[in-house]
Structure 1
């Protein structure tokens, strides 16, 4: 509806005409009003290809503004291929009404939008969804509950639940949480300015980096952007109350989702573990699903792969071009080899979980008679972390760990040079017998690749929160990997009490994360004898 039309209705005292009274013409129909059950109205743009008659619709729901350049680019690509694209600002974003509460309202609003969309005369009733990151989560908030089901889903670098990414192993993921909440806080301060150019500034702003040291961490938002930000406050306040997020966790319903799903993720993406769990659940339920895992993180390389993947998936399920369906369900890049590999399932067949024991160094044989290794973590002299799965692309991925490994507050164990290449493909975990002096601490475990020059680069890692006195058997879920260690390289395991600022400091006191200020030094003793063996379980692939 035009501005003149809305003004005329207002002068005549008429209610706003529903958007579907007039089908959108070829091109873009902006700010269509989509009513929610609670009376809030969300706005959507319809990008329509040339042609007449009702068409299937591709729905994209975004918290970043429907005028964002990346969204416009994506919509343009799809329209040029004959797809009708509906891009909606989620609640509280851009011109959409209500308050943005990250992750909380996407199920109800998404289902209401789906019902509205199917009722439009310019939609033939078939709806698919695409998008990456949060835009992928909005799909999972709808797909398990949609009746009739979606035609297809394109899921890039995302998961059906983000809670495990907020608190991996029980620790607070400070870097990613503060970077994203600062981005959203800046955007909220510019509401109505869709796609504001400086909305990305917090990702590179030194003020945000400095704010990661702010105490208490529950107020780091004011240090970062000068005002409270709701998402940061919720994540920090509920670090000890995970049940708060229960309604935002759709993972239990993944297996019931019948819509064909195509996924793209990367070995350095923060949501890799959740996305692989989603894929396994779909495969176990016999659903049509495929996944691509590339040598990238949460970055532009991933987005390029996402776009290509989702175009081919839509071509197959809305356009009738089924050529893309003939590829293997799992396609992954084996880092260090330059090879892409195809498999029928995840984890790949031919992978053997193999324990790598902590001993005087590292050994494939069971240890015996080895004294504990000890180190002390100081919350006022934080053990730094480098690389890994971060939302800041320039800081993510593999990095030289030499500076950290030389510190006195870490333990480093190194194996013998390999006499042949070693390929790891699959989930990685660690079982560590550890005692902390205060009964509170975070145990960080990192596996590195040491080349013949002595440069140590991270391959995978994980963290677990310890909140119990005495000797504890700590189970650490580490990041999945697909990686080749070359002949002559050595495996190295680093143990530490943290990796800042990727994870918030553990104060060693047990005080809730959001308001903790006081701290205690924590001495860690890692046992590695025959009675208390500590090891990493590595997915050795013998393909």
Structure 2
């Protein structure tokens, strides 16, 4: 009964909403609690001198977008502007209203706009062919207002961040600063990523997130913002995958379009995501978390941004998607404790950044990369990433061990991947599922380790702490008895009590082993080299702990199951068991690479 009630509530609320939470010091932080706010109550708490007026802002094609302007009285007649564009309802979405409160109290005009096809705006929603042009037209409209200085900053998380990055690629002269958070989903084909809304990892659909978002939030016009409740556990089993959302939502969404277009440049080149053609010059404070599904994409975006604006920087918190401060208030992310005393004043950081770039105020020097080191419980500042002091360390897959020495002999181990009995997901980089019981982040993976459909490699017990800081990757040599299948690779931290807590994980659909723009099926029983990205991390393994690697063929429901037939994986319904052989040894070593900091 309780689960049914929670599911119904989740269907009525925003999938990744944020509410205002006050710490013991009274400073506001953001936490995603799937909560919408009552606008009348919110407006009643604003200073009396703050005016609120709704406008219908015309786009070049005649579509009008519902736009609220919050204008503090007093101070300068013309004010710098903070713009927030969102698909979640400008007068109910907790995060957007938080930015209104923060910046209007500091003499900024704040503009909050429903994106095309969402809530009060006209037109038809799609991610994201219209967002660049709509953003530019909105900036032009702002500049024409008598209350606006010609300087605009943007802020927000997830879709609210992705639209900022797309706008920044247009290089509008009034766009002087941006703070995109959890915005890796803005990347398309740039740097070979093929992320598209953050719904693809290693060429595989992030099923739980993708289905959850489009089923719950995928309406294309303002009258279709609600979705019926459902049992997510059963719904995620739907085959073929391409019809999953349509089965549970009567109106059209873009779920099927994303699956059809990911391999078709004639389709995905029209979507508006970031490509290698894009250039940036907007000063940027990128913000993300270690267990955001798009953290790797955020690093790639920042690399592009810094080529045009080298002063841009990155803040990485110990958290999950859009939960920038929650764990530092509650004391844990997933199963990993964090130190509440290491909490930072995020609002103060954001305000200082905007003041520097929109008001010309001095800002204290900050490191280019500022990241929280899990289990060491402190912040690491560095001018480059990985940090200059970090050294590459390689662990070879040798027998059932992770070894710093390669094997002189050839080792082979076999496992099977059965789509009818996939390896279950436990935590990790998962978000936006719509399921209130879904947990994300670094959780204990030991319940999986008795299964016979994954391989385990374990390192020696550490005699001193091992600090990891940088990107992680696994290089595996594999052969299979099918033309295509998936690899899921997971790095864990094994403690003396037997817990095996996730550090990071990654995946690859093997047809994309040569790049996402050059899919190629395999020949059966031929050995192929596959490189799997496991995102990035800053993490300490304590003395007495062990490093462990999992290799499997699935992680369901986080990732869509592969039917292993070699056909279109999203249109197939008949599963086939794949036999996968992992090879390691002379002439074809399999290994995991990471970056380590000098011993403390």
What is the correspondence of 1:338-417 to structure 2 with a 5 Å cutoff?
Answer: 338-360=377-399, 361-392=401-432, 394-417=438-461
Runs of 4+ residues deviating >4 angstroms: 187-190, 302-308
Provide the rounded CA distance (Å) in 2 between the counterparts of 1:118 and 1:189.
28
1:15-64 CA-partner distances (Å, limit 9, x unpaired): xxxxxxxxxx9534433121111111111000011226222211111111
Name the counterpart of 2:20. none
Name the counterpart of 2:59. 36
Name the CA shift for 1:37/1:105 in 2 (closer, same or farther; >3 Å).
same
What is the correspondence of 1:330-345 to structure 2 with a 5 Å cutoff?
Answer: 330-345=369-384
What SS class does the counterpart of residue 411 from structure 2 fall into? coil
Is 1:466 equivalent to 2:525 in the alignment? no
Provide the rounded CA distance (Å) in 2 between the counterparts of 1:31 and 1:376.
58
Q: What is the CA distance between 1:92 and its match in structure 2?
A: 0.5
Q: Larger radius of gyration, structure 1 or 2? A: 1
Q: What is the CA distance between 1:149 and its match in structure 2?
A: 4.7
Name the CA shift for 1:377/1:133 in 2 (closer, same or farther; >3 Å).
same
1:205-256 CA-partner distances (Å, limit 9, x unpaired): 6623321110111111134x432542222222234336632342225356x3
Provide the rounded CA distance (Å) in 2 between the counterparts of 1:235 and 1:146.
27
Unaligned runs of 5+ in 1: 1-24, 194-198
Is 1:503 equivalent to 2:562 in the alignment? no
Provide the rounded CA distance (Å) in 1 between the counterparts of 2:268 and 2:532.
22
Unaligned runs of 5+ in 2: 1-47, 189-193, 327-343, 512-521
Name the counterpart of 1:5. none
Is 1:76 equivalent to 2:101 in the alignment? yes
Provide the rounded CA distance (Å) in 1 between the counterparts of 2:234 and 2:347.
34
Is 1:176 equivalent to 2:176 in the alignment? no
CA contact (8 A) 1:282 1:288 kept: no
Provide the rounded CA distance (Å) in 2 between the counterparts of 1:362 and 1:370.
15
CA contact (8 A) 2:453 2:552 kept: yes
What SS class does the counterpart of residue 310 from structure 1 fall into? helix
Provide the rounded CA distance (Å) in 1 between the counterparts of 2:374 and 2:214.
31
Name the counterpart of 2:499. 455
CA contact (8 A) 1:215 1:516 kept: yes
Name the CA shift for 1:540/1:117 in 2 (closer, same or farther; >3 Å).
same
CA contact (8 A) 2:126 2:220 kept: no
Name the counterpart of 2:285. 262
Which of the residues 187, 191, 208 maps onto 1:161?
187
CA contact (8 A) 2:85 2:160 kept: yes
Name the counterpart of 2:34. none
Is 1:145 equivalent to 2:170 in the alignment? yes
Name the counterpart of 1:314. 354
Provide the rounded CA distance (Å) in 2 between the counterparts of 1:30 and 1:359.
66
Structure with the larger helix share: 1
Q: What is the CA distance between 1:314 and its match in structure 2?
A: 1.0
Provide the rounded CA distance (Å) in 2 between the counterparts of 1:253 and 1:240.
19
What SS class does the counterpart of residue 433 from structure 1 fall into? strand
Which of the residues 517, 525, 536 maps onto 2:573?
517
Is 1:249 equivalent to 2:305 in the alignment? no
Name the counterpart of 2:223. 191
Name the CA shift for 1:474/1:38 in 2 (closer, same or farther; >3 Å).
same
CA contact (8 A) 2:80 2:151 kept: yes
Provide the rounded CA distance (Å) in 2 between the counterparts of 1:189 and 1:59.
22
CA contact (8 A) 1:236 1:513 kept: no
CA contact (8 A) 2:52 2:70 kept: yes
Name the counterpart of 2:81. 57
Aligned residues: 507
1:69-108 CA-partner distances (Å, limit 9, x unpaired): 3312221111001110011111001121100112221011
Name the counterpart of 1:437. 481
Provide the rounded CA distance (Å) in 2 between the counterparts of 1:192 and 1:235.
20
CA contact (8 A) 1:433 1:527 kept: yes
1:463-492 CA-partner distances (Å, limit 9, x unpaired): 111131221100111111111111111111
RMSD: 2.2
What is the correspondence of 1:93-112 to structure 2 with a 5 Å cutoff?
Answer: 93-112=118-137
